[in-house]
Amino acid sequence: MLLDRSFGDAGARVVIEERLTGRECSMMALCDGERFVLLATAEDHKAVFEGDRGPNTGGMGAYSPSPLVDAALSKRIAQTIFAPTVAAMAAMGRPFRGLLYGGLMLTPDRGPMVIEWNCRFGDPETQAVLPRMEDDLLPWLLAAAKGELPAGSPTWSTSISVCVVLAAAGYPGKVRSGDAIDGLGRRRTACRRRHRSGRVSRRHQARGRALAHQWRPRTGRDRAGRGSQFSASARLQWY
pLDDT band at 206 (very low <50, low <70, confident <90, very high): very low
Beta bridge partners of 25: 104
pLDDT for res 87:
97
Q: In what order do the strands lie in the sheet with 61-64?
A: 43-44, 61-64, 161-167, 215-221, 191-193
Decide which of 225 and 124 is more confident: 124
pLDDT digits (tens, 9 = 90+) for 144-198: 999 999 999 999 999 999 988 888 888 888 888 878 777 766 655 444 544 443 3
Cβ-contact 106, 25 below 8 angstroms: yes
pLDDT digits (tens, 9 = 90+) for 66-117: 999 999 999 999 999 999 999 999 999 999 999 999 999 999 999 999 999 9
DSSP, collapsed to helix, strand or coil, labels residue 125 as helix
DSSP, collapsed to helix, strand or coil, labels residue 36 as strand
Cβ-contact 194, 164 below 8 angstroms: no
Q: Where are the alpha helices (DSSP H) in 20-168?
A: 71-77, 83-91, 125-129, 137-146
Q: How many CA atoms lie within 13 A of 138 on its CB side?
A: 0
Structural domains of the chain, with CATH: 20-146 (3.30.470.20), 161-238 (3.90.600.10)
pLDDT band at 199 (very low <50, low <70, confident <90, very high): very low
C-alpha of 7 from chain center: 22
DSSP 167-186: EPTTTTSSPPP--EEE-TT-
pLDDT digits (tens, 9 = 90+) for 23-50: 999 999 999 999 999 999 999 988 998 8
